[in-house]
A = this chain, B = another copy of it.
Amino acid sequence: MSNTKAIVFDLYGTLYDVHSVVQQCDAVYPGQGSHISTMWRQKQLEYTWLRSLMGQYVSFEQATRDALVYTCRHLNLKLDQAACARLCDAYLKLTPYPEVPATLQQLNGLGLPLAILSNGSVFSIDSVVKNSGLQKHFAHLISVERVGVFKPDPRVYALASQALGLLPQQILFVSSNAWDASGARHFGFTVCWVNRHNNTFEELGAAPHAIVNGLDGLPELISAAKEGAD
């Protein structure tokens, strides 16, 4: 970690709370927002993995829409075009976790370039980041769009190395998604898992180098590593 020259963040679930769509789901389907959001997210992830494996890439927006359609069919909920558009639109306006803005500011003070590497399309990433006013913190917003495959395919992680001109081990990759952290570790990144909700790490043959309970644990982690190396 003392070797870190840049920090690359996952977006969905790491910087931004995917379950901030619960409120909009609740508005359309009263009392079922939380249940719908959980199933929707799980299916969205499955569709990114399955589409990638099949060689049938579609945009993250499309996978998100497909997952919502599945979820509503599965739960016997009527989904008209207006509700579908409204709920998918909520994914473009996700809320950052509370500690994120101040932590990004602090990390900028350490002089390391920050970037986002996300399954989202260029448009999705741009929308989410701008909507929350956090774009000034990032040197790069990197989408899987260019390689036409989703995480954890190594071609996705390679995009960050290329954009930053750094070796994988010089990049600290930060994700709350244990499967993403595993894929990043297999690729060669230095990896920090953000475990906000006391989750269980995945058994995929790759442990993270560090674990924090929230993004605000990062500045100390990096400072300590730098001091240890001095």
Q: Is A200 an interface residue (CB 8 A)?
A: yes
Q: Is A100 an interface residue (CB 8 A)?
A: no
Q: With a CB–CB cut-off of 8 A, which chain B residues contact A179?
A: 46, 50
CA distance A46 to B46 in the complex (A): 8
Mark A39-81 against chain B: 1 for CB-CB distance below 8 A, else 0.
Answer: 0000000110111111110100000001101100110000000
The one of B52, B56, B70 that contacts A53, using a Cβ cutoff of 8 Å:
B52
CA distance A49 to B183 in the complex (A): 12
Q: With a CB–CB cut-off of 8 A, which chain B residues contact A27?
A: none
Q: Is A186 an interface residue (CB 8 A)?
A: yes
Q: With a CB–CB cut-off of 8 A, which chain B residues contact A70?
A: 200, 202-203
B183–A53 CB distance below 8 A: yes
A151 to chain B, nearest CB (A): 8
- Of all chain B residues, the one with the shortest Cβ separation from A45 is B46
Tally of this chain's copies: 2
Q: How many residues of A contact B (CB 8 A)?
A: 31
Q: Binding site of A, secondary structure by majority: helix, strand, loop or mixed? A: helix
Q: With a CB–CB cut-off of 8 A, which chain B residues contact A53?
A: 49, 52-53, 150-153, 183
CA distance A204 to B67 in the complex (A): 9
A50–B182 CB distance below 8 A: yes
Take A50-B152, A50-B182 as given contacts and tell me if A56 and B203 are in contact as well, using a CB distance cutoff of 8 Å: no
Q: Is A109 an interface residue (CB 8 A)?
A: no
Q: Is A154 an interface residue (CB 8 A)?
A: yes
Taking A54-B186, A55-B154, A70-B200 as known contacts, 8 extra A-B pairs with beta carbons closer than 8 A to each other, sorted by chain A number, are A46-B49, A50-B179, A50-B183, A54-B153, A58-B205, A66-B205, A67-B203, A73-B200
Which residues of A line the B interface, CB within 8 A? 46-47, 49-56, 58, 66-67, 69-70, 73-74, 150-154, 179, 182-183, 186, 200, 202-205
User: Can you list 11 contacts pairing A with B, beta carbon distance less than 8 Å?
Assistant: A46-B179, A49-B53, A50-B179, A52-B53, A53-B53, A53-B150, A54-B186, A56-B186, A56-B205, A69-B203, A70-B200
